[in-house]
Structure 1
Amino acid sequence: MLFNHLEQPKKIVVMTGATSGFGTHTLRLLVDDPDTTVLVGARGKDRSVPAGAEILPLDLESLASVRAFAQEVKKRIRERRIDICLLNAGVHGSSADQFSEDGYGRTFAVNHLAHYLLARLLLPLMADRGRLVITSSNMHNPPFKSMAPKGLEIQEWAHPTPDGSGVGTKGYCASKLCNLMTALTLSRRPEVKSRNIDIIAFNPGLTGGAGGNDAGVLQKVAVRSLMYTIFPLIGLFRPEFNMNTAEHSGRMLARVALGSISLPENSVYVSLVKGVPTFPAPSELAQDVAAQERLWSESAEMVGLARSSTVAKENLEDTR
């Protein structure tokens, strides 16, 4: 579907993570507006979306697929601009022998690198005063120190070893830290600020039904075990680890995307605590500007983009 001059939607949304988990509820709310079209990036032909949405092929384990998806988005929207970009897809912790097509650890590749590249490719296509939302997690600062990233171990996360911090729950926590740091870095870029594009990192909280269709059986069992046994106890002391329903988290993401939840000035992070949007400071490591810039630079090298801090000057024709 190409948008012609006579039948142009008033609002264009691009979204990943819309075909499973709480993202399905977000998508339904977005397409309730008949003047909104949502271009959904998804893998597989068996995914279904409601009227008002269209699936474009996207495999987040392949940087080539990410580039092809961005090119297809540009082709579909023609001279139009993206109003909202929701980077919501993700996988739970993978093992040291699970790699992306490009040879990176699966969790780091899908949760961070693919969305980092997608953000840089799509930002030049976004409307002034648009909104880009990256789904992070309270697990960027987990309740157990043994899970938490001890520092910015980028190469370990990209090339995980069996006993390292890039596998399992540790790897998931690291990837969510990267999501938050990427959002914080993007929010500072002059090219983003000059166009008044809102950059937001969204924590849906612990969400029933999360995990995605691509998670393995053992991964789903492990995640659900944590969610329904250990984390409810932790929630007594750290309320951000209380459970939310998928419907509620999806509704809150839609509200963030549509701007009906306003963040305080200079705030990037919105976190659901007992289902209520709050605006806490990210972890100390997430706020480390030098670490943010190093993550940005090394990620750029991994995905084959310039290490430059520029965003809006990147264009699809110049990528390789």
Structure 2
Amino acid sequence: MKTVVVTGGTSGIGAVATQRIGSVPGTRVLLGARRGGLGSPETLSLDLTRLSSVKEFVGAIYDRIGDAEIDALVLNAGSQFPNIDHRTEDGFEMTFGVNHLAHYLLLRLLLPKLTYGATVVITTSDTHDPKINPLAPKQLDPEQLAHPPGRRRRTGFSAGFRAYSASKLCNLLTARGLADSNVAKLKSLTVIAYNPGFTAGTSLFRAWPLWAKVAVGVASVVRPMTRLATVEQAGTNLADLALGRIIPPVGHIYASLVNQQLLWPDPSELARRDDTVVGLWNDSARMVGLLTTV
């Protein structure tokens, strides 16, 4: 029996991936979601806006699987907010707290349970790259992302999208940090940062302003001409990466779905900087109260 742990598996590409993973004979899926429940997949309560909930979720996994180990960890959950004015229970800016920090803590706490040769897939986005997205970060300050300076007026969509892009950079940097770690080498982990590309039909766009939602709707209508991936295609690739059906080329961890083809390009220049990886890893460990090294 193989065990796969998934976040963000109740809708969109995550739901497709979860269904495909769960359909493989001899595979057990443990899904983290806001509401736990019975049935298949086994769903355990997880609220990524609370670090205490992440710890409770990890405890529930340890209890549920006993002496068994985890064969694949899929950190797919992500949200985009219309501004940067909201905070998590722990006081972090919501986008940074949910998309990055909660998943960083979850990864760190589950590392001891990953079996030798396990696969870790973290969903990122090509919006992290300034060559693709002009709002992408050109430098990274984790402390400012976690605690943005106060403003007299409410922030808007551009600030929210900047925060989303930065959080996706953090997801990619976390994957790089894990891949370079001692534990990844000792356990021969396969680590992948997966960009599903612009995929119309997911819940990610629910916080977008009306004009942007209209643009997404138009894009979904003309998808055959634009060669945008469908939710089914993006989710299938996610499942295949988690199941080891797609093997990364040597020296690459960034998988990007472009024009309905899975490629292995170089990420942004900032994402390739080792000092940025180390800085984020150490700052994140401090924020969640863990040791920096693994």
TM superposition score normalised by structure 1 = 0.83
Question: What is the Cα-based RMSD across aligned positions, in Å?
Answer: 2.5
Equivalent in 210, 213, 220 of residue 224 of structure 1: 213
Give the corresponding residue for 1:137: 125
Give the corresponding residue for 1:318: none
Deviation at 1:167, TM superposition (A): 3.4
Equivalent in 195, 199, 203 of residue 211 of structure 1: 203
Give the corresponding residue for 2:7: 16
Deviation at 1:137, TM superposition (A): 0.6
2:31 matched to 1:40?
A: yes
2:167 matched to 1:182?
A: no
2:280 matched to 1:295?
A: yes
Q: Is the 8 A contact 2:157 2:209 kept in 1?
A: no
Task: Identify the structure with the greater helix proportion.
Answer: 2
2:37 matched to 1:84?
A: no
Deviation at 1:35, TM superposition (A): 1.1
Structure 1 residues 220 and 87, CA, compared in 2 at 3 Å: closer, same or farther?
farther
Q: Is the 8 A contact 2:127 2:133 kept in 1?
A: no
Q: Is the 8 A contact 1:166 1:174 kept in 2?
A: no
Q: Map 1:57-136; keep pairs closer than 5 Å.
A: 57-136=45-124
Amino acid in the other structure paired with 2:238: L
Q: Is the 8 A contact 1:206 1:227 kept in 2?
A: no
Secondary structure at the aligned position of 2:72 is classed as strand
Separation (CA, whole Å) in 2 of partners of 1:185 and 1:209:
31
Structure 1 residues 231 and 302, CA, compared in 2 at 3 Å: closer, same or farther?
farther
Separation (CA, whole Å) in 2 of partners of 1:143 and 1:228:
24
Equivalent in 155, 162, 171 of residue 163 of structure 2: 171
Give the corresponding residue for 2:235: 250
| Bigger mean CA deviation after superposition, 265-274 or 154-163 | 154-163
- Count the aligned residue pairs: 288
Q: Which runs of 5+ in 2 are unaligned?
A: none
TM superposition score normalised by structure 2 = 0.90
Deviation at 1:262, TM superposition (A): 1.3
Deviation at 1:57, TM superposition (A): 0.3
Amino acid in the other structure paired with 1:204: P
Secondary structure at the aligned position of 2:35 is classed as coil
% identity of equivalent residues: 40
Equivalent in 251, 256, 259 of residue 271 of structure 1: 256
2:152 matched to 1:160?
A: no
**1:63-111 alpha-carbon deviations (Å, 9 max, x no partner):** 0000110111011110000001000000013423211010001100000
Structure 1 residues 87 and 227, CA, compared in 2 at 3 Å: closer, same or farther?
same
Separation (CA, whole Å) in 1 of partners of 2:247 and 2:2:
19
Give the corresponding residue for 1:283: 268
**1:108-163 alpha-carbon deviations (Å, 9 max, x no partner):** 00000000011101111011000010000111115566411020121221113456
Structure 1 residues 226 and 284, CA, compared in 2 at 3 Å: closer, same or farther?
farther
